[in-house]
Amino acid sequence: MSDATLHKPATPARFRSATQESPAARWTLIAIAVGGLALLVGAPLVIVFVEALSRGWAAAVAGLASRDAQAAIRLTLLITAIAVPLNAVVGIAAAWFITKFDFRGKAFLITLIDLPFSISPVVAGLCIVLLFGANSALGGWLVASGYPIVFAVPGIVLATVFVTFPFVARELIPVMIEQGRTEEEAALTLGATGWRVFRTVTLPNIRWALLYGTLLCTARAMGEFGAVAVVSGKIRGQTATMPITIEMFYNEYLSVAAFSMAALLTGFALLTLLLKTALELRHADALSATRRH
Amino acid sequence: MHIQIDEIAKDFGTTTALHPVSLSIPSGALVALLGPSGSGKTTLLRILGGLEFPTSGRVLFNSQDATGLSVQARRAGFVFQSYALFRHMTVFENIAYGLRARPRASRPPKAEIDRRVLKLLDLIQLPQIADRYPTQLSGGQRQRVALARALAIEPRMLLLDEPFGALDAKVRKGLRQGLRDIHDETGLTSVFVTHDQDEAMELADLVVVMSMGRIEQIGKPQDIRAKPATEFVRDFIGA
């Protein structure tokens, strides 16, 4: 090794490797990337916390302590706790179905999974209102039986599930296609039952994609505004989630309360990212071992 | 175990992978399914292993109908072309997988599983790699681990899909003898798929030459070399 370095001719400074940019180009690119990131991501993030704390910690905490604020936080956590596991399970099932079986209409199904990404959340909300609202036959019957969907928690769950549906499935499908079926087949020939194969082979192989998809889904579920705004009816203390309450506070010139709630919501999102990074660091060994050459 | 293939045919949609083929594999034999890609040899192997089911025909194990037997119930030690080792498990866990997957009643105790896995690692002459992950192994090592994993379930037969396909020429020659030795030691009826006529001729007791979903000739290597039954066989083995 040291021999090789000794005999290696010194590279004259004026030659650049083929893939290296000129210093001017490099600095321009770095400036654009850093500047753009700072302006578009960094500044809003900072301003949320600055505004929340503009009258001190006590005011910020007081803004979160009101009955409406507490109800909103509880509701958002409840919705997330229902929507995310639901989407994780359905997402795994959909990805499994699409990648492990061949059938007609596969491309159509993949497009259908993407639909919530391309449809405006407001339209999605309206569809739920039309389908389950008191004016529809189904909705009328549900309201009469005492299980209203629209302007109630089930409607918010439905809207959130719809909007966040693609996250888990979209993360899993490419990973599962890449991995193919042979490991599962091998486990079957070794005598494992279908459920055991899923638990011991499929799930461990997709766990990082699943984690990533779930975290994205969580962040989005907590932050969803448009669809929820339509189906929830924005009933203060009952169906107003955190994003909706932020808007209400803001419109009522309760700027500290609005921004402390926004800061809390941002904090939840940052927490999910932190969790992901921590898990990745902790399982770096397993992560590199399962990666293909 | 004696394997009887009785008029087995397989269609995938509108394409025919296998025309009705029949073949008798004597107990304890090492058999090569030899042919170019698309000849139906892998399909036939997967039907034996229970990974595909035939469109028509029967498979008999020791004269018992096994056509509808599930993949788990066949107890066929299957070695896949790319080995399909479990990436997130160590070599030890890979080999122990089949024993741990058994229902509680027939599952050996932990100490017995450990003992058997270590014995298999000795058999494949890699006693020191138990704690490694598949990605940390060479191609030849992976192939032998896949073989050990298949043997761990005490299979009734050994099925190997292009077991040497992913290896370079030098490693391949060495492992051929390794497979022959393991076959002779265990006495398992073994079927392997290959497109390499040297490999088939050198290793197998019985060679089955296949083309376009049909069996062209069945015979001992020397007989096939001396008397190719069809123009295709003559051409393919370069006699």
Q: Which two tokens stand for residue A235?
A: 């009933």
Rounded-to-integer distance, Cα A258 and Cα A255, Å: 5
Residues of chain A falling short of pLDDT 50:
1-5, 292-293
For residue A36, the number of C-alpha atoms closer than 13 Å in the C-beta half-sphere is 6
Query: Which residue is closest to B96 within chain A, CA to CA?
Result: A190
Residue among A193, A200, A289 whose CB faces B135 most closely: A289
Tell me if A187 and B86 make a contact (CB, 8 A cut-off).
yes
What's residue B216's pLDDT?
Answer: 94
Rounded-to-integer distance, Cα A194 and Cα A245, Å: 46
Q: Which two tokens stand for residue B27?
A: 């107990």
Amino acid identity at A21: E
The sign of the CA dihedral A97, A101, A105, A108 is: positive
Torsions phi, psi of B157, nearest 5? -155, 165
What's residue A9's pLDDT?
Answer: 54
What's residue A1's pLDDT?
Answer: 44
Query: Which residue is closest to B52 within chain A, CA to CA?
Result: A185
Contact between residue A135 and residue A218 where contact means Cβ atoms under 8 Å apart: no
Estimate to the nearest angstrom the gap between the alpha carbon of B174 and the chain centroid: 18
Q: Which two tokens stand for residue B23?
A: 């073949």
User: Mutation test of the interface with chain A: which of B48, B53, B78, B86, choosing the one with the most A Cβ atoms within 10 A?
Assistant: B86
For residue A75, the number of C-alpha atoms closer than 13 Å in the C-beta half-sphere is 29
Residue where the block lists tokens 């030691």: B185
What pTM did the predictor assign?
0.80
User: Mutation test of the interface with chain A: which of B48, B52, B72, choosing the one with the most A Cβ atoms within 10 A?
Assistant: B72
Q: List the one residue out of B17, B14, B75 whose CA is nearest residue A188.
A: B75
Contacts of A286 in chain B (CB under 8 A): 88
Tell me if A193 and B72 make a contact (CB, 8 A cut-off).
yes
Each residue of A234-258: pLDDT tens digit?
888 888 999 999 999 999 998 899 9
Tell me if A204 and B49 make a contact (CB, 8 A cut-off).
no
Total H helices, total E strands in chain B:
9, 10
Q: Kindly state whether A203 is in contact with chain B, defined as any CB-CB distance less than 8 angstroms.
A: no
What's residue A288's pLDDT?
Answer: 62
The 3-state DSSP class for residue A70 equals helix
Residue where the block lists tokens 């808007």: A247
Contacts of A191 in chain B (CB under 8 A): 72, 75, 98, 101-102, 153
Per-residue tens of pLDDT for chain B, all 239 residues: 999 999 999 999 889 999 999 999 999 999 999 999 989 999 999 999 999 999 999 999 999 999 999 999 999 999 999 899 999 999 999 999 999 999 988 899 999 999 999 999 998 889 999 999 999 999 889 999 999 999 999 999 999 999 988 788 888 888 888 899 999 999 999 999 999 988 999 999 999 999 999 999 999 999 999 999 999 999 988 85
User: A-B interface: how many C-beta pairs under 8 angstroms?
Assistant: 76
What's residue A291's pLDDT?
Answer: 52
Instruction: Say which residues have a Cβ less than 8 Å from residue A185's Cβ, sequence separation at least 6.
Output: B51, B71, B78, B80, B84
Contact between residue B208 and residue B218 where contact means Cβ atoms under 8 Å apart: yes
Contact between residue A195 and residue B72 where contact means Cβ atoms under 8 Å apart: no
Residues 204-223 of A with CB under 8 A from B: 204-205
Strand ranges for chain B from DSSP E: 3-12, 15-25, 30-34, 56-61, 64-65, 76-79, 157-161, 189-194, 206-211, 214-219
Tell me if B72 and A191 make a contact (CB, 8 A cut-off).
yes
Contact between residue B95 and residue B149 where contact means Cβ atoms under 8 Å apart: yes
Torsions phi, psi of A45, nearest 5? -60, -45
Query: Which residue is closest to A288 within chain B, CA to CA?
Result: B135
Contact between residue A114 and residue A166 where contact means Cβ atoms under 8 Å apart: yes
Residues 170-199 of A with CB under 8 A from B: 182-183, 185-193, 196
A174: distance to nearest CA of chain B, Å?
17
What's residue B57's pLDDT?
Answer: 93
Rounded-to-integer distance, Cα A112 and Cα A110, Å: 5
Rounded-to-integer distance, Cα B239 and Cα B230, Å: 11
CA distances in angstroms from B87 to A171, A196, A200, A212, B91, listed in the order given: 19, 16, 11, 20, 9
The 3-state DSSP class for residue B40 equals coil
Rounded-to-integer distance, Cα B137 and Cα B128, Å: 12
Estimate to the nearest angstrom the gap between the alpha carbon of A53 and the chain centroid: 27
Cross-strand partners of B32: B192, B207
Tell me if A187 and B97 make a contact (CB, 8 A cut-off).
yes
A235: distance to nearest CA of chain B, Å?
49
Phi-psi domain of A146 (left: phi exceeds 0; alpha: psi -120 through 50; beta: other): left
Estimate to the nearest angstrom the gap between the alpha carbon of B148 and the chain centroid: 12
Amino acid identity at A199: R
